[in-house]
Amino acid sequence: MFTLKAPAKINLTLEVLEKRKDGYHEITSIIQTISLADILEFQPAEKFVFHCDNSEWKAEKSLVSRAAILFASNTDARCGARINIQKKIPLSAGLGGESSAAAITLVGLNHLLHTELLPGDLYHLAEQLGSDVPFFLTGGTALVSGRGEKVSPLPSLPHHWVILLVPPEMETPGKTEKMYSLLKPIYFTSGLITDSFISSLTLGKMKTLPELYNVFDEVAGEMFERIEWHKEQFYLAGAKSVNMAGSGPVLFSLEEDESRAEQITQRLSERGLKAILTHTLDSNGHDFI
């Protein structure tokens, strides 16, 4: 038996360049893993069994069970596995929890079942599960492009505290697809915001954090009724800049100073809002616990 962490992510930039003929959108995005993580425990078992401590998580709807089925059908592994999940990442939040758990399921099964799939084989399975899944095989700071499946590692973002504000939205089935469908061509950009962020990262001249950008901030109000109110609360609590995580509705703000980050988190909590203090990760490895 062993456990692995499946970290959440935030998008430091997320630009849509165009709509593709296959229905997907061509994106360019810098993604960053953070310390908030689900914990997946892998045990040998005769067949696949999934258990999660959050009763709203349903195995049959989850990418974790799809990842296990895909893994089994692409290897000659005979046995199954019991996967116990401690859910720390809010569901359907824009933090990539499902995609991360699916990627880590592939990594964990490969270890548990001694199938010795190579990184390229795992990547091939991951990209079939969802556009965001391949990124989580490595994590850290990376540029993703294509529909999100092309991943190029970047130098680590200098350590930042990440304050998350989790609005009490109801789960919206097909949310990512709906958010993409709200994007009109006027919201498409050239990729320059991402290029300029990469220049600051690679030239190592990041004295102040470059502009963060998420195209979904433009249409968030059409999907999440109270998102502007939540952003306002974040600014009132002292945040300097607030962006949505992926397709939302979680909001985040970055802070270099720990005591400021704690203060903002505390102020949000005092107003009865769900705030989580976490931080950026710089390692590319998987945390075996």
**Does 172 engage in binding with ligand C5P (CB under 6 A)?**
no
**Does 136 engage in binding with ligand C5P (CB under 6 A)?**
no
**DSSP one-letter code for 16:** E
In order, the DSSP letters of 191-241 are SHHHHHHHHHHHHT--SSPPPPEEGGGGTHHHH-TTHHHHHHHHHHTT-S-
Considering only 90, 130, 134, 139, the residue that binds ligand C5P (CB under 6 A) is 130
Nearest CB to ligand C5P, comparing residues 46 and 177: 177
Minimum distance from CB of 7 to ligand C5P (Å)? Answer: 18
Task: Say if CB 12 and CB 98 are below 8 A apart.
Answer: no
Question: Which candidate, 153, 148, 50, 57, places its Cα nearest to that of 98?
Answer: 57
Quick one: which segment of 39-47, 151-159, 175-183, 214-222 binds ligand C5P (CB under 6 A)?
175-183
Task: Say if CB 49 and CB 212 are below 8 A apart.
Answer: no
**Does 270 engage in binding with ligand C5P (CB under 6 A)?**
no
Q: How far is it, in rounded angstroms, from Cα 33 to Cα 6?
A: 9
Quick one: which segment of 100-108, 155-163, 173-181, 273-281 binds ligand C5P (CB under 6 A)?
173-181
Number of residues that bind ligand C5P (CB under 6 A): 12
Among this protein's residues, is 53 annotated catalytic? no
Active-site pick, 88, 132, 217, 231: 132
Considering only 50, 180, 197, 224, the residue that binds ligand C5P (CB under 6 A) is 180
Among this protein's residues, is 9 annotated catalytic? yes
Nearest CB to ligand C5P, comparing residues 29 and 141: 29
Three-state DSSP at 38 gives strand
Considering only 10, 14, 27, 275, the residue that binds ligand C5P (CB under 6 A) is 27
In order, the DSSP letters of 144-192 are EEETTTEEEE-PPPPP-EEEEEE--PPP-TTHHHHHHHT--GGG---SH
Task: Say if CB 220 and CB 175 are below 8 A apart.
Answer: no
Residues that bind ligand C5P (CB under 6 A): 23-25, 27, 130-132, 147-148, 176-177, 180
